[in-house]
Structure 1
């Protein structure tokens, strides 16, 4: 609470092995926008360690290739909350005001790597995606929806 008003509320749903909850609702969210990325970011190999230093989240899958391999990844991966925040920051003013946002993670971002952001601004929402690869074989890493 800030000055008696809600400032932030979050709901997180995580993947886990097992049968799942049969009553759980599945909502895949919007599709990633098409088009050429408006911006690209080169992500260094140490991005996970740098994020851990400021966030306190030192999950081994983000820290180095050797620790990520122990957990089934070929290299370290970017932290989901870093990528979520990076897209919100890139959207700028539309995402800076009170509203809501949601992110759906599709594929991990391997480090080092390069991702591009594609966005579509509609009157009632903005949908953005982090993508990599060529347009004919593009990988979607996340889709973010921001509603004012």
Structure 2
């Protein structure tokens, strides 16, 4: 993670907490580990065949990365996520979360929201310190 960029929050959105630079080969690397080798994640050429200008990040990777930033994973009981826009690779994105870490979003340039989510934690366990 790098320094937090001055990406404005979406209207009423949580404040920025971290900035991530995602390489162009992220989809291929995640696909090799996960076994999900969907062509939209692998190369710009194969992604274009499906209407994307470049390869896109795996949705499950983006959710997992957000959860890793959200604090103690053993405290998370459930997760709800809404995907809003694909993350075109390479990319720089901003992870934003409320003070509890229970509501989060991933934003791209000009505040474009890629995903929004919430976590429910076990009773008596808080999010990031």
- Say whether 1:128 aligns with 2:107: no
Helix, strand or coil: the match of 2:56?
coil
Say which of 116, 119, 129 aligns to 2:94. 116
Helix, strand or coil: the match of 2:16?
coil
Helix, strand or coil: the match of 2:98?
strand
Q: Provide the rounded CA distance (Å) in 2 between the counterparts of 1:98 and 1:84.
A: 13
Match of 1:44 in 2: 23
Flag structure 2 segments of 5+ consecutive residues without an equivalent: 1-9, 122-129
| TM-score calculated relative to the size of structure 1 | 0.70
TM-fit CA distance, 1:119? 0.3
Helix, strand or coil: the match of 1:116?
strand
Say which of 64, 79, 94 aligns to 2:58. 79
Q: Provide the rounded CA distance (Å) in 1 between the counterparts of 2:12 and 2:36.
A: 30
Q: Report the RMSD for the aligned CA atoms in angstroms.
A: 1.8
Q: From the CA coordinates, give the structure whose radius of gyration is larger.
A: 1
Deviations 1:28-69 (A, max 9, x none): xxx885254210000000000000010000000000100000
| TM-score calculated relative to the size of structure 2 | 0.80
Flag structure 1 segments of 5+ consecutive residues without an equivalent: 1-30
Q: How many residues align?
A: 112
Say which of 85, 88, 112 aligns to 1:107. 85
Helix, strand or coil: the match of 1:62?
helix
